[in-house]
Structure 1
Amino acid sequence: MKKLIYLIVVALGLVHTVNAQDSGSTKAKNDIAIGIKAGLNISNFVGDDAGDANSLIGFNGGIFVELKVSDKFYIQPEVLFSTQGSKSDLLLEGNNIDISFKTKYINIPVMAKYNVAKDFQLEVGPYVGFLVDADAKVTFQGQSESVDVMEVLKSNDFGLNFGFNYDFSDAIFFNARYAAGLVQIGDTGSEDDIKNSVIQFGLGFRL
């Protein structure tokens, strides 16, 4: 993490509607449900080289397909756009430098969901992520500047999601999920033990 920060400093030179009459209960009658979801990210970098990284707020949103396997078991692949990252403070030659890493991923999770109680499901599944943009905003002595950091991060991520869903209705549900990155995302050649860590909260809408 510190190497990434130093490289950056050097580079800078210092809605939904349900038609109940026509379709009835979406979840109860359909083996396949298509929907949209969106929510809040609380993300961070973790790992031996993450240093004193702090959480960054972002968002996620995209589409999903809910496939009914049995009355209690579902498979749900998703395609999500996710803004993630981390914030760090560095003391360099007696000067405080604040850096916000902001990354943008296309994440593709495949979740297995199991009904453990009425309207309540536990979920677990892997995800693969594709980095589409990354920059770092450096604030020094009241002035800020941004630099592209795509070259010092790997283009792919892989990890494991686990969480739960609560159905408010057949159409609307609440989702809470933790996404634990399992692979290093740094790509500088050394001090690269940095992984994504993201807590997600949001709402989903079955169409």
Structure 2
Amino acid sequence: MKKGVFVFLSILLSNLYVFAQSNAEFGIKGGLNLTFFNVEQANFGPNAETEVGYYGGIFVDVHIDESLSIQPELLYIGLGDFEFLNAPIYAKYEVANNFDILVGPSLNYFFDFFSNKFKVRGDVSVAYHIIKPLDIHMKYTIGFEEISPNGLFIGLGYRL
């Protein structure tokens, strides 16, 4: 288990290093996480349970052109007694001045919760740049498996 996490993080960090050689910006982000559990369905459902947690991590924004970029992230998420790593890989598009839409797969490694520790989910996110280095963002994560939770993330990002 620990070896798999180490290999996963090594590959992700080496990719971030390669991206850093191009036109890229680095940053940190963090905020509040609301996770919705429903064992019968992977949606809010009528009897969903909600857990409140936190998240924090790093990102790199690799510019392809003026309005399009790729933004991989590595986030640590704490949710009650559960902890996991979330590594979304976003296609980011600036739809208006200071307003971005991000969409892409989310690779997740759960430390404690599931017997199948690795899960792929889908993310849809929006970000508004309050000032050039500071943004406020919100993302919704969709679990594709029956017991995979959905989550709503609200937080701040800061470009270094």
TM-score if structure 1 supplies the norm length?
A: 0.61
Partners of 1:133 and 1:159 lie apart in 2 by 18
Correspondence for 2:95 among 101, 108, 116: 116
Whether 1:42 and 2:34 are equivalent positions in the alignment is: yes
1:49 CA displacement: 5.9
Whether 1:57 and 2:52 are equivalent positions in the alignment is: yes
The one-character-per-residue Cα deviations of 1:34-84 (angstroms, maximum 9, x if unpaired) are 110001001021352678331110011100000001100011000000124
Structure 1 residue aligned with 2:153: 200
- Residue identity opposite 2:128 in structure 1: Y
Aligned residue pairs total: 136
Partners of 1:161 and 1:84 lie apart in 2 by 18
Structure 1 residue aligned with 2:110: 131
Structure 2 residue aligned with 1:32: 24
SS at match of 1:195: coil
The one-character-per-residue Cα deviations of 1:115-168 (angstroms, maximum 9, x if unpaired) are 11000011101011011234xxxxxxxxxxxxxxxxx53211110000200001
Whether 1:158 and 2:120 are equivalent positions in the alignment is: yes
Aligned ranges 1:52-91 → 2 under 5 Å: 52-84=47-79
Unpaired stretches in structure 1, ≥5 consecutive residues: 1-29, 86-101, 135-151, 184-192
8 Å CA contact 2:37–2:150 kept in 1: the answer is yes
- Residue identity opposite 1:71 in structure 2: E
Unpaired stretches in structure 2, ≥5 consecutive residues: 1-21
